[in-house]
Each structure stands twice: as structure tokens, then as C-alpha cells.
Amino acid sequence: MNHFVKNDGIELNDELDKLFNTADIQLIDGKFEFIIDSTHQSTFDDHTMGHVLTVLLQTTFVDKLEKLVIRAKPITDVTLIKLCGHLESMVQLSYLDLSLCDITDAGLVRLAEKLPYTNITTLLLSGNKLSMNAAKALGESIGKCERLEIVELADCGLTYDGFVAIFNSIQSPKSRLMKLDISGSRLLGCEQKLAYHIEDMLKQNPRLRRLHIRKSGLTDEAVARIANGLNYTDNLTLLDLSANKLSRDSAGLLCPVLHKLDVLDLSDNRIQSEGAANLAATIKRDKIKLHTLLLRNCCIDDDGIQHILDAVAHPNSTIRRIHLWGNNFSDGGSAKLDELMKNRVLIESNTDCRASSQFHPGEYRPAELYRPNLQQPGVL
């Protein structure tokens, strides 16, 4: 039996028909998901999505939609505004992913108005270009949302005003936010001012567990602020500072608070051998809970690589995953990595290097293994 009436001008191509049939089957259990992403080749633009939403948002089914994903499709504010008109009726909707679309201003302002009155816990908007007004409206709305746990706004071109609104908002006692991704910003010289807001947020919002700030132009001064803020929270376990403008000093600044973290990503920064040695010394000296350390492309020479690998093998170490590709391996580091893998201290699936791969006559160096970014959309 088909629950959905699939007409109203929709062209029933194979992909769309399959989506509706899947939803039909799920409805037997009283709720359903609707996922349109890059695996679907059909053109899902505002015109098509207008018809699809007309079907999905029928009175009989609007309160049974649990997860809605429209990812990497050319929808605009038109689709989002239509969706917002029904959000308060979508009482089971907890996951909304509109990443990599063409949403900009009016739709996001409208979403910000409706968000506090919904049951959405996961909101993914990465890859859309937020205007200043949209970013401020969304930031102010987050503090009023008592159920929102995950917010991802990576590569949205956030300006300083947008950042301030977001960080001020999540300091609200009502905020339940546990993961925030604000990578890829347009701070225009305000990077260090942002660090003050991050520090205050860490002091005021003890619930936050994951903070991603990639590609935001942060420097060592900003890391000093962030490190100080870490002293005031015990819940933040993942800190992603990759692809910023950090030097070896940042590694030293983070060493006193390294025991707070489970995961630290400093990839694509100039950490160098001195920074690696400082991190290694902390891992060996203190029995800390850090289990994942990412140092890809960090300008670390072979001596620094050996320091890190010695730390991985140390009895005090809890490191299980280490990424080191793109640094300056030589004979010593290559041999040590090979030894750790042979002894099963480090297994290949937990690193981004394959030991002892001959790429030049008479010399062995690691080969790169593809590893996806630790940032998994929508995952806490």
C-alpha cells in the first residue's frame, strides 16, 4: 500500500520513486526519513522540491518525518521558506541537513525564527553562504533552543558579527549545544578578538564536547586564549584547530591542558619538531586520556617524528590513532614506524601512513593512506 500520493506534477523518475517507496516502508513503524544527497543524480531544484514538499508535508504525514536531508542540491531560500511554514507541525523532526545548497538570507532568517519552537537536535548548514543578518539571526536563535545539540556552519563565510552572535548565544543557560563547527570563516583581521569569545564560551558553556575551528586564520595568541578556556571545562574532548596559522608555540601552549582532550587535530600548521617534542614529552610524562593526535603536514622533521612515535609506544601513552603523513620522514622515523606496526603497538587502520614502502631506489619511506577528516557531519 502506498501512503504517499505521488502526483501534483512530479515526474516520477526512478530515484524519486525509490525515495517515496522507502518512506512508505518506514511509515509502517510510524515515522520516516527522506534523504536526497549527492548520490542522487536527478536535478532537485526549487521547482522539483516544491512538489516533493507538497507531498511530504501532507497533514497525515507531516508529524511523522524524523530526518530530512537535502544535501548538495541547488535549492534556495524559496524551498527553505516553504519548509519553515510547516516546521512547528513536524514534531518528530530531529535531524535537518541542508548542507552545500544555495541558501543565503531570507530562508535562514525565517529558519532562525522557527528553530526554538521545533524538536530539532541536529542542524547542518555547512557550505551555504550566510549573510551577516542570517548569521546573527541564527546565532541569537541557538541560545533559545533547548534541544539543539549539534550545529555545523563550516565554510559558510561567517563574519565577525555572526561569530559573536553565535558564541554569545551558546553561553545561555538554555543552550544544550554539544558540537559546534564554525570552520572556514571570513574574519578579516578579527581572528584574535574571536579568541576572547571562544575563551568566554568555554568558561560559560560546560556542555560543549566538540569544537571545530579549521581554516579560520587563528594564531598562537588565539590558542593561548583557547587553552586558558579549556581550564574551565571538563566536557570538551575534541579540539580541531587544523589549517590555521599556528606555530610550534601553540603545541607548547596546549601541553598544560592536553589531559583535558581525547582528540586533538593540529594538522596543516607549522608545529615543527620542537612542538612535536613538547607534545611527546607531555604524553610520556603524564598518563592522560588523549587517544587521537593528528599532525599531518606540520613541517616536522625526522627527529620530531621519532619523539612522537616514542611517545606512542610509551607505557603511559593512551594514543591509539596518529596521523603523520606530509612530514619529513627519514630513515629513523620510517624504521620506528615500521617497528611499531610490526609489534602491533600501532595498527595500520589507525594511522595515515603505510610503513616501509619503497618509493626510491634503496630507500624506504611511508606511503600515504587515505583517511577522511575526523569531522563526520551530524555525528557527535
End-to-end CA distance of the chain: 36
Evaluate if residue 4 carries a pLDDT over 60: no
* 362: confidence class by pLDDT, cuts 50, 70, 90: low
What CATH architecture does domain 29-206+215-231 belong to? Alpha-Beta Horseshoe (3.80)
Residue 361 DSSP symbol: T
Give the residue carrying C-alpha cell 522539483: 48
Mean pLDDT confidence for 320-335? 93
Higher pLDDT, 375 or 265: 265
Nearest to 56 by CA among 101, 14, 3: 3
- Higher model confidence: residue 376 or residue 111? 111
Dig out the grid coordinates for 169 from the structure.
548565544
**Of the listed ranges 210-219, 236-245, 325-334, 367-376, the one predicted with least confidence:** 367-376
Instruction: Evaluate if residue 115 carries a pLDDT over 70.
Output: yes
- How open is the CA angle 249-251-252, to the nearest 5 degrees? 65
The reply to whether 246-372 shares the fold of 29-206+215-231 is yes
Query: What pTM was computed for the model?
Result: 0.93
In a 3-state reduction of DSSP, which class is residue 335?
helix
Say how many CA atoms lie within 13 Å of 8 toward its Cβ.
Answer: 15
88 CB-near residues (< 8 Å, 6+ apart): 114, 117, 118
Yes or no: say if 138 and 130 are a contact pair by the CB < 8 Å rule.
yes
pLDDT at residue 265 is higher than 70:
yes
Region 40-69 average pLDDT: 88
DSSP letters of 53-73? HHHHT-TTTGGGEEEEEE-SS
The Cβ of residue 312 has, within 10 Å, a number of other Cβ atoms equal to: 24
- pLDDT at 333 (0 to 100): 93
- Please, what is the average pLDDT of the chain? 89
Tally of CB atoms within 10 A around 116: 17
Confidence at residue 1, expressed as pLDDT on a 0 to 100 scale? 44
**Confidence grade of residue 16 (pLDDT, cut at 50, 70, 90):** confident
pLDDT reading at 167 higher than 70: yes
DSSP state for residue 348 in the 8-state scheme: G
Domain 246-372, what architecture?
A: Alpha-Beta Horseshoe (3.80)
pLDDT band at 29 (very low <50, low <70, confident <90, very high): confident
Most confident among 43-47, 119-123, 153-157, 189-193 (mean pLDDT):
119-123
pLDDT by residue (tens digit) across 293-318?
999 999 999 999 999 999 999 999 99
The answer to whether 352 and 296 are in contact (CB under 8 A) is yes
Kindly list the domain boundaries of the chain, sorted by start residue: 29-206+215-231, 246-372
pLDDT tens readout for residues 199-239 = 988 988 778 999 999 998 899 999 999 999 999 998 999 99
Given phi > 0 = left and psi -120 to 50 = alpha, else beta, which region is 301? beta
Question: How far is 272 from 254, CA to CA, in rounded Å?
Answer: 15
Q: What is the pLDDT of residues 91-110, one digit of tens each?
A: 999 999 999 999 988 999 99
- Is the distance from CB of 289 to CB of 319 less than 8 angstroms? no
Out of 37-46, 83-92, 371-380, give the one with best mean pLDDT: 83-92
pLDDT band at residue 258 under the 50/70/90 scheme: very high
**Residue 12 in this model has a pLDDT that exceeds 90:** no
Instruction: Report the length, in residues, of the chain.
Output: 380
DSSP classification of residue 351: B
* Per-residue confidence (pLDDT) for residue 191, from 0 to 100: 64
In the chain, % of residues over pLDDT 70? 93
